[in-house]
Amino acid sequence: MGGDEPSGALDTLLAEVRACRICAEHLPLGPRPVLRMAESARLLIIGQAPGTKVHETGVPWNDPSGDRLREWLAMDRETFYDEKRIAIMPMGFCYPGRNPRGGDNPPRPECAPAWHAKLLDHLTNVRLTLLVGTYAQACYLDTRRKRTMTETVRVWPEYGPEFLPLPHPSWRTTGWLKRNPWFETELLPDLRARVAEALG
Note the pLDDT tens digit of each residue in 48-59: 999 999 999 999
CA 135 to each of CA 26, 78, 141, 178: distance values in angstroms, whole numbers, following the listed order: 19, 27, 10, 23
Q: What is the pLDDT of residue 102?
A: 79
Q: Where does the pLDDT of residue 3 fall: very low under 50, low under 70, confident under 90, or very high at 90 and above?
A: very low
Q: What is the pLDDT of residue 7?
A: 64
The answer to whether residue 2 is domain-embedded is no
pTM: 0.94
What does the alpha-carbon distance between residue 145 and residue 98 come to, in Å, rounded to a whole number?
A: 27
CATH classification at residue 184? 3.40.470.10
Is pLDDT above 70 for 44? Answer: yes
The answer to whether residue 42 is domain-embedded is yes
Bridge partners (DSSP) listed for residue 166: 132
Q: What is the pLDDT of residue 101?
A: 83
Query: Which helix H or strand E contains 192, and what residues bound it?
Result: helix 188-199
3 burial via Cβ count (<10 Å: 0-12, 13-18, 19+):
exposed
User: Which of 3-7, 22-26, 39-43, 179-183 has the weakest average pLDDT?
Assistant: 3-7
Q: What is the mean pLDDT of the chain?
A: 95
Q: What is the pLDDT of residue 5?
A: 46
The Cβ of residue 173 has, within 10 Å, a number of other Cβ atoms equal to 17
What does the alpha-carbon distance between residue 50 and residue 28 come to, in Å, rounded to a whole number?
A: 13
What does the alpha-carbon distance between residue 178 and residue 184 come to, in Å, rounded to a whole number?
A: 10
Q: What is the pLDDT of residue 68?
A: 98
Note the pLDDT tens digit of each residue in 108-164: 999 999 999 999 999 999 999 999 999 999 999 999 999 999 999 999 999 999 999
The answer to whether residue 1 is domain-embedded is no
Q: Domain containing 89: what range?
A: 8-199
Q: Where does the pLDDT of residue 100 fall: very low under 50, low under 70, confident under 90, or very high at 90 and above?
A: confident
Amino acid identity of residue 136, one-letter, is A
Q: What is the pLDDT of residue 6?
A: 46
The answer to whether residue 102 is domain-embedded is yes
For residues 174-191, give the mean pLDDT: 98
Q: Which residues of 111-134 are buried (b: 16+ CB within 10 A; e: fewer)?
A: bbebbbeebbebbebbbbbbbbbb
The answer to whether residue 96 is domain-embedded is yes
Query: Is the distance from CB of 61 to CB of 105 less than 8 angstroms?
Result: no
Which is nearest to 129 in space by CA: 191, 60, 70? 191
The answer to whether residue 3 is domain-embedded is no
Into how many domains does the chain fold? Answer: 1
What does the alpha-carbon distance between residue 39 and residue 7 come to, in Å, rounded to a whole number?
A: 7
Is pLDDT above 80 for 2? Answer: no
